[in-house]
Chain A
Amino acid sequence: GESVGLHLPTLSVQEGDNSIINCAYSNSASDYFIWYKQESGKGPQFIIDIRSNMDKRQGQRVTVLLNKTVKHLSLQIAATQPGDSAVYFCAEKPGSGGSNYKLTFGKGTLLTVNP
């Protein structure tokens, strides 16, 4: 029979607009978070990270916000460009313990930028 795949959340924006991609994480013990970008046919590419002792971090055109109270992470992309079209994954990592190497990935959000 036909397999049922993941139905990725999608976000469609116009070129030049700002994009906000959201992620809810599950482990209150997570102390490190990463956003990855995956373009079609390529591996995940590191965008920006944040540690739990911060609530905001800025990079070039990207900002990550962390709200530990509600276990929510967001990625803001300013002046979105067609080259930003990709699937975006958040990942979390526990701060300590035997599995502190293990990144747990979210399901991803598909961002489409319309010219």
Chain B
Amino acid sequence: DAGVIQSPRHEVTEMGQEVTLRCKPISGHNSLFWYRQTMMRGLELLIYFNNNVPIDDSGMPEDRFSAKMPNASFSTLKIQPSEPRDSAVYFCASSHSVYEQYFGPGTRLTVT
């Protein structure tokens, strides 16, 4: 089992640019989560999808952030325009129940 796959692993971009992070959940999992991790705030839930439908996006910081899940095997998190304060590690996690979540390796985003 490949686990949750994220790409890219590292992204460095300039302020104002668009950034797209990608996630492939574990096959058969029907729940997908996007998290952000910073030293200041720890792990924060950004958005939760169930059966490809966004259920809870209350953690999305502002309109510059958007997420999609066009099918069961792919999701994107987009930031447009990016700002330096968006620098963080972004994790995708998937689950087949309301219990344990399996995390991907993360994307380290640096916005200069």
Contacts and interface: CB of A to CB of B under 8 A. Distances in A.
Interface stretch (A14-22, A37-45, A59-67): A37-45
Interface of A: 3-6, 32, 34, 36, 42-46, 49, 89, 93, 99-103, 105-108
Contact of B42 (A3, A42, A105): A105
Contact of B106 (A4, A42, A46, A106): A42
Interface of B is mostly: strand
A106 B42 CA distance: 8
Interface size class of B (residues with CB under 8 A): 20 to 34
Interface stretch (B13-21, B68-76, B95-103): B95-103
Interface of B: 4, 31, 39-43, 45, 48, 50, 55-56, 91, 93, 95, 98-106
Nearest to A32: B99
B91 A101 contact: no
Query: Among the interface residues B42, B45, B56, B91, which one has the most CB atoms of the partner chain A within 10 A?
Result: B42
B37 to A, nearest CB: 9
A5 B87 CA distance: 14
Nearest to B106: A43
Contacts of A6: 39-42
B43 A105 contact: yes
Contacts of B98: 93, 100-101
A99 B42 contact: no
Contacts of B45: 102-103
B55 A101 contact: yes
Contacts of B43: 44, 89, 105
Contacts of B91: 43-44
A3 B101 contact: no
Given A43-B91, A102-B48, A108 B101 contact: no
A99 B100 contact: no
A39 to B, nearest CB: 11
